[in-house]
Amino acid sequence: MTDSPDLPDDPAALLAELQRLRIEHKDISDAVEALEAIGQADQLQIRRFKRRKLLLKDLIRQIEDQITPDIIA
């Protein structure tokens, strides 16, 4: 059973979700860079993108922690 009810228990589904989140994170990162490069970007939109990126990063780490077992040395 997972800690988060929104995440699947199946390892294959976890890997698929991890891949999807990584792609979305990269897409948002590229969008933020493009908006900042044009100079006249909507700062509110950039902040929203960055907030979403942080949320995605947390979800990615959560899934990675589920996939990778804890090793106590």
8 A C-beta contact, residue 60 and residue 24 = no
Assessment of whether the complete model's pTM goes beyond 0.85: no
Q: What is the pLDDT of residues 18-64, one digit of tens each?
A: 999 999 999 999 999 998 898 877 889 999 999 999 999 999 999 99
For the chain, count helices (H), then strands (E): 2, 0
Domain boundaries, the chain: 11-67
